[in-house]
Amino acid sequence: MHKMGDDGEIDPPAKKGVVQKVKETVTEAIDFVEDFSGGVSDFIETYNEMKDANWKNSDKYFHSKANFKASLRGPGGRYAAEKMSNLREITDQYIKGDSRASSVADQKANSYGRLQAQKLSYFRYYNLTYGDALPNYRPISLPSKH
């Protein structure tokens, strides 16, 4: 049976389902874009933090940290993490002249950060430090603020 809407028109039940699906799709797209944008911001913030720390042997830690932070945001953040990491490695190899081996090592740290976020995503609501989440790359003596 069809119902008359507030505007006096009769809406078939299928139309309501289509409208709801469109709303859900638009909401998901907006969430993805917001997560992507936030992920890019995470990379910029973490890069600035790395420069500020100026700590020997901490590069891989900050690689994994940026990927971890961005990936916690969800699909858009994970996508941003992957794309930003790839862009950085292309830039490092072809503009800075870093070796292929250095890029592979950086990508391993990037992947580790994304994987840790996937495994530990439920901890983001607790007091988990980045050192706890990313123990494989964090230098022991790096100040706790990082």
Give per-residue pLDDT as tens, 38-66: 999 999 999 999 999 999 999 999 999 99
What average pLDDT score do residues 20-25 get? 87
CATH numeric code, 16-133: 1.10.132.110
For residues 113 and 65, the answer to whether their CB atoms sit within 8 Å is yes
pLDDT band at 12, cuts 50/70/90?
low
CA dist., res. 29 & res. 86, Å (int): 23
Answer yes or no: is pLDDT of 30 > 60.
yes
Model pLDDT, residue 7 = 57
List, for residues 72-128, the tens digit of each pLDDT value. Answer: 999 999 999 999 999 999 999 999 999 999 999 999 999 999 999 988 876 655 667
For residues 39 and 80, the answer to whether their CB atoms sit within 8 Å is yes
Contacts of 19-25 with CB under 8 Å at 24 or more apart are none
Q: Map residue 2 onto helix, strand or coil.
A: coil
CA dist., res. 116 & res. 133, Å (int): 7
Which residues 6+ apart lie within 8 Å of 70 measured at CB?
A: 38, 39, 40, 42, 43, 77, 78, 80, 81, 84, 117
Question: pTM of this prediction?
Answer: 0.83
pLDDT band at 13, cuts 50/70/90?
low
